[in-house]
Structure 1
């Protein structure tokens, strides 16, 4: 008996993809717009906490998505990609998943080493710090976190442009598999 080939990703993976895309957008907007509020203000703290917890949510969802992807696999692209395109696609996806895992870890390490409280959302309960306060380490981690975040504007842009290129120019089903 022939196994039926799925033309699209599993519904759970499609929902996770678009939920993570929206959450990533919100998380970036929160950090980019924190400057609307003065340092030390409640508004700025709320923006930072929203950014932080958006990152933590992305971290959790990334692991869920990886498990779902492993369980369900990916539908084949029709027509199939050549070696170079397939390698680039795989590399970009690995970078995206690495980003979703590494960035929240760097963020929480930055907060802890900067001796900042990380509050549970909608409470005044602080998570216990697992790193000692170290301003030099905090500064280095914050710089790294920011540099990776900036670099990822490019990776995310490449991901979006590639999806549009596949849909409009190559005319394969890459984008349709995720819709």
Structure 2
């Protein structure tokens, strides 16, 4: 299997980054909605630090994915895809990239501006603050982070919904191209 994407399918580095980032984002969204209800305890701080560490991991993986996408290109739309669907897919992908990069940055900015204790990335090293404590920046970053979660959920639903429509309704290869070739053998 090629490292670079072909005209017909995504290569394994693209697939791995896609599914790893997707799983991490889904976990972050789930934990993000639950953690705000936790009572202040050692577990509370542990969950918040884990959320922040995974969020920064997503930021790094998204930057790698963006670089890889620029380097490796993308498959062409499957034959028969209407141009409007291709344009919509590109718009949703671009929006997902933007929000998936902006969410960890807004979280990091919120954490920095809040003046809370320094984050130890998975307990390994201290993450530098982006700004000094600032209530105005804290408020804007927090608001963006909360609304960004809902926007990201909407984009994920559109993206996954379109993939399922391609698979079950249009019965084309769009979804299969983002799955390892071994999945097709089980079909």
Shared fold (TM-score, shorter chain, > 0.5): yes
Give the Cα–Cα distance (whole angstroms) in 2 for the partners of residues 121 and 50 of structure 1.
8
Following superposition, the deviation at residue 143 of structure 1 comes to: 1.1
For the structure 1 residues 58 and 125, does the alpha-carbon distance in structure 2 shift closer, same or farther, using more than 3 Å as the test?
A: closer
Deviations 1:82-113 (A, max 9, x none): 22111110000001111121111111111111
Deviations 1:29-48 (A, max 9, x none): 22122145203x11111111
Name the counterpart of 1:49.
49
Name the counterpart of 1:63.
63
Cα pair 1:30 1:50 within 8 Å, conserved? no
> Residue 88 in 1 paired to residue 88 in 2?
yes
Classify the secondary structure of the residue corresponding to 1:138. Answer: helix
Classify the secondary structure of the residue corresponding to 2:78. Answer: coil
Classify the secondary structure of the residue corresponding to 1:33. Answer: helix
Mean Cα displacement is larger for which, 110-119 or 92-101? Answer: 110-119
Aligned pair count reads: 174
For the structure 1 residues 174 and 118, does the alpha-carbon distance in structure 2 shift closer, same or farther, using more than 3 Å as the test?
A: farther
Mean Cα displacement is larger for which, 22-31 or 91-100? Answer: 22-31
Give the Cα–Cα distance (whole angstroms) in 1 for the partners of residues 125 and 78 of structure 2.
50
Runs of 4+ in 1 over 6 A off after TM superposition: none
Name the counterpart of 1:29.
30
Cα pair 1:27 1:50 within 8 Å, conserved? no
> Residue 120 in 1 paired to residue 120 in 2?
yes
For the structure 1 residues 125 and 177, does the alpha-carbon distance in structure 2 shift closer, same or farther, using more than 3 Å as the test?
A: closer
Name the counterpart of 1:162.
162
- Structure 2 length-normalised TM: 0.85
Cα pair 1:117 1:126 within 8 Å, conserved? no
Name the counterpart of 1:16.
17
Give the Cα–Cα distance (whole angstroms) in 1 for the partners of residues 173 and 76 of structure 2.
9
The answer for unaligned runs of 5 or more in structure 2 is 1-5, 180-187
Name the counterpart of 1:77.
77
Cα pair 2:49 2:122 within 8 Å, conserved? no
Deviations 1:10-32 (A, max 9, x none): 11101111111111111112212
